[in-house]
Amino acid sequence: MNKAIFLDRDGVINQEQGYTYRLEDFVILPDLIEVLQLLQQKGYLLMVVSNQSGIAKNLYKQSDVEVLHAYLVEELKKNNITLSEIYYCVHHPDVTNCICRKPDSLFIEKGLARFDIDPSRSYFIGDKERDTEAAAKAGVKGILIEANISLKTILNQIE
């Protein structure tokens, strides 16, 4: 079985600054590339799981999110980093109900099943309690960080 690192997007991968949907506002955090290279070398698959409720609230379009994700994939690819998948929820409970929005664990569970991942050897790094709640529901170890900090600060928590 494989092992994986699931990552929240805003505040973990890119700078948290409210609803991030414009490319000019998408700032990849310092040390992210170096940390993801190290985790990938250690054999972890890398996946993003993100709530993008601004779509449901009509603040931006799904195509805006797709542009950001394509940019992220290309920037990581330039550094020999592969994202196995990017899962994102387009819903918000004020607009529509779903089971994919964190703190629910549907997208983590999809990743676990699709990529034959052992949850007990996997982690979810997030900057909100809902991230670690989703991780716990899926049997993955959650690591709660402050938004916009270097992931180097939590490397010692990953085996």
Domains of the chain and any CATH numbers: 3-123+132-153 (3.40.50.1000)
Q: What pLDDT is recorded for position 84?
A: 98
Q: What is the mean pLDDT of each run of 10 residues along the chain (159 residues)?
A: 98 95 96 98 98 92 97 98 97 86 96 98 98 98 97 95
pTM: 0.96
Q: What pLDDT is recorded for position 94?
A: 83
CA angle 29, 122, 32 (to 5 degrees): 10
Q: What pLDDT is recorded for position 32?
A: 97
Q: What pLDDT is recorded for position 145?
A: 97
Three-class SS string for 59-94? CCCHHHHHHHHHHHHHHHHCCCCCEEEEEEECCCCC
Strand partners, 87: 49
Q: What pLDDT is recorded for position 96?
A: 83
Q: What pLDDT is recorded for position 159?
A: 87
Q: Collapsing DSSP states into helix, strand and coil, what is residue 2?
A: strand
Q: What pLDDT is recorded for position 3?
A: 98
Answer whether 59's CB lies under 8 Å from 16's CB.
no
Q: Is 8 among the residues known to form the active site?
A: yes
